[in-house]
Amino acid sequence: MRSADIRQAFLNFFAQHGHTVVPTSPLVPDNDPTLLFTNAGMVPFKDVFLGRDPRPYVRATSAQRCVRAGGKHNDLDNVGYTARHHTFFEMLGNFSFGDYFKRDAIRYAWTFLTETLGLPAEKLWVTVHTSDDEAERIWKDEVGVNPERFSKLDEDNFWQMGDTGPCGPSSEIFFDHGPGVWGGPPGSAEEDGDRYIEIWNLVFMQYDRDAEGTLHELPKPSIDTGMGLERVAAVLQGVHSNYEIDLFQNLLKAAAKATGYDDLQAPSLCVIADHIRSCAFLVADGVMPSNEGRGYVLRRIIRRAVRHGHKLGAVDPFFHTLVAALDAEMGDAYPELRRAREQIERILLKEEQQFSRTLEHGMGLLNAALDELSGDVLPGDTVFKLYDTYGFPFDLTADVCRERGVAPDEAGFQRELEAQRERARAASQFGADYTAAVDIDGETTFTGYEQLTDEARIVALVDA
Ligand code: ATP
Ligand code: MG
Ligand code: MG
Ligand code: MG
């Protein structure tokens, strides 16, 4: 089954069960300054769960584009290392706003997986929250899931969109890809491996968490589910890694051609194929590379992709040329991508050209430092110099270090940043004015100079 067919089968199944098919929303959530990007299918429905946004339906289904590259859900560092994480992916979801609750959510999910998609029950593992005896009873007594493939977990089974907002206990469904890949069942010490891959999360939305962390009951218990399209495609296409599914084949080939590197298994090609999706869609949704907030996350992802291309031997700007392959793959499902294609190419090319001015020298410095290193920690002043002079975001340096089994000294780096900040503060008394503000881990709010994140300011200085 091709990815496009799975997406359609999902929407059809839930439409047949009374759900309204709601089109995908942009990656930048409207009216939600607490959230960096749309990181789950429920984000566009946040206010519906909270009872503030009445809709003409109580059941909805969608295939929502998501980015997880900052804030509460951040998978940037996983890309290139796991078989299952992307920065950009599509989440298939069904939602109940005060209509059905646990029983139907569980039954729909099980029916879709085992009947519509025909997955064997003995390959599916299920978890619920430790406190959730009701969901346990439904799974064991009504669905008949084998207790050997069932467990109750704590934090893993409490889902929240961000530090505030709708949340609740959840039930997750995993697929066992079989021996041959490292990893253990959910709840085991090896669960972070890639053998048992989580495919679907059913969230029993019951609470709204406020800024103090207090949970308030939602007006009505609701349902929010999310299934990663790429993960379920891997299962149905009989491959282990998301990067082996149909959707990625042409992207990987295009990346290989553009960089002149033809081992399609190379992790760097996967990183590039992943990153072109998030970068192109972010630009299509109106994010521009910049030194603050969302734009700075975009800039970091672009630079990271460009560095991986450089590693594979690309000499000329290559990243922007992949937009054509992405358009061919996804432009039918996402006309907004097709419409913005030329603009995306132009913006990515400009970023590449800008970074290529310092990348080569920065890599020379970094590689020399790593070659000479005794021990396994790259000193903070080197990390800072890369940052300050060559525009290497911290995570980019960390990514290179990780390939060599080294860790960057983050605390030392932070001290250098602080010293820089002191100097800038002194300078500002003589009229210098730095006003960009960014919180690279989450919210973007303008806070003025005092709370300025150093990383952004320094890149701003480098790029100025
Ligand atoms: P994991 O534990 O594997 O990181 P998660 O628990 O963080 O996944 P959820 O927040 O529950 O994921 O999201 C719902 C579903 O979205 C997951 O079950 C998975 O199928 C999919 N998903 C989550 N993160 C990613 C990602 N980075 N790339 C691709 N699919 C993802
Ligand atoms: Mg995760
Ligand atoms: Mg999980
Ligand atoms: Mg989950």
**Amino acid 72: pLDDT:** 82
Instruction: Report d(CA 378, CA 384) in Å as an integer.
Output: 11
Instruction: Report d(CA 365, CA 359) in Å as an integer.
Output: 10
Instruction: Report d(CA 133, CA 318) in Å as an integer.
Output: 53
User: Residues, the chain, total?
Assistant: 464
Residue type, 368: A
For residue 156, how far is its CA from the centre of ligand 2 (angstroms)? 9
Q: Closest residue (by CA) to atom 2 of ligand 1?
A: 198
**Amino acid 430: pLDDT:** 66
Query: 205 in ligand 1 pocket by Cβ < 6 Å?
Result: no
Instruction: Report d(CA 78, CA 85) in Å as an integer.
Output: 6
For residue 198, how far is its CA from the centre of ligand 3 (angstroms)? 6
Residues with Cβ within 8 Å of residue 84, at least 6 apart in sequence? 194, 197, 198, 228, 231, 234, 241, 242
For residue 52, how far is its CA from the centre of ligand 1 (angstroms)? 27
* Contact (Cβ atoms closer than 8 angstroms) between residue 207 and residue 168: yes
For residue 24, how far is its CA from the centre of ligand 4 (angstroms)? 20
Instruction: Report d(CA 148, CA 266) in Å as an integer.
Output: 37
For residue 201, how far is its CA from the centre of ligand 4 (angstroms)? 5
Query: 65 in ligand 1 pocket by Cβ < 6 Å?
Result: no
Q: Closest residue (by CA) to atom 31 of ligand 1?
A: 228
Pick out the chain residues at pLDDT < 70: 430-464
Q: Give the residue from 91, 115, 139 showing the smallest Cα distance to 17.
A: 115
Q: Closest residue (by CA) to atom 7 of ligand 1?
A: 73
Query: 127 in ligand 1 pocket by Cβ < 6 Å?
Result: no
Query: 86 in ligand 1 pocket by Cβ < 6 Å?
Result: yes
Closest ligand 1 atom to residue 75 Cα is 27
What does the block give as tokens for 134?
A: 């009701």
Query: 91 in ligand 1 pocket by Cβ < 6 Å?
Result: yes
**Amino acid 435: pLDDT:** 38
pTM of this structure:
0.91
* Angle, in degrees to the nearest 10, between helices 267-284 and 323-330: 70
For residue 198, how far is its CA from the centre of ligand 1 (angstroms)? 7
* Angle, in degrees to the nearest 10, between helices 246-259 and 323-330: 170
Distances (CA, A) of 19 to 51, 71, 95, 96, 113: 18, 30, 8, 9, 18
Instruction: Report d(CA 99, CA 223) in Å as an integer.
Output: 8
**Amino acid 452: pLDDT:** 34
For residue 386, how far is its CA from the centre of ligand 2 (angstroms)? 29
For residue 73, how far is its CA from the centre of ligand 2 (angstroms)? 6
For residue 393, how far is its CA from the centre of ligand 2 (angstroms)? 23
Closest ligand 1 atom to residue 40 Cα is 13
**Amino acid 431: pLDDT:** 56
Mutate to test the pocket of ligand 1, among 64, 81, 84 (most ligand atoms within 8 A of CB): 84
| Torsional sign, CA 130, 135, 136, 139 | negative
Mutate to test the pocket of ligand 1, among 7, 42, 74, 89 (most ligand atoms within 8 A of CB): 89
ipTM over 0.90: yes
> What are the E-state strand segments in 191-259?
196-209, 215-228
Mutate to test the pocket of ligand 1, among 62, 67, 85 (most ligand atoms within 8 A of CB): 85
For the stretch 83-137, pLDDT in tens is 999 999 999 999 999 999 999 999 999 999 999 999 999 999 999 999 999 999 9
* Contact (Cβ atoms closer than 8 angstroms) between residue 379 and residue 415: no
Distances (CA, A) of 76 to 232, 240, 243, 275: 21, 20, 15, 9
**Amino acid 162: pLDDT:** 85
Residue 10 backbone dihedrals phi, psi, to 5 degrees: -65, -50
* Contact (Cβ atoms closer than 8 angstroms) between residue 107 and residue 139: no
**Ligand whose nearest atom lies closest to the CA of 199:** 1
**Amino acid 161: pLDDT:** 83
Q: Give the residue from 165, 191, 187, 193 showing the smallest Cα distance to 82.
A: 193
Query: 174 in ligand 1 pocket by Cβ < 6 Å?
Result: no
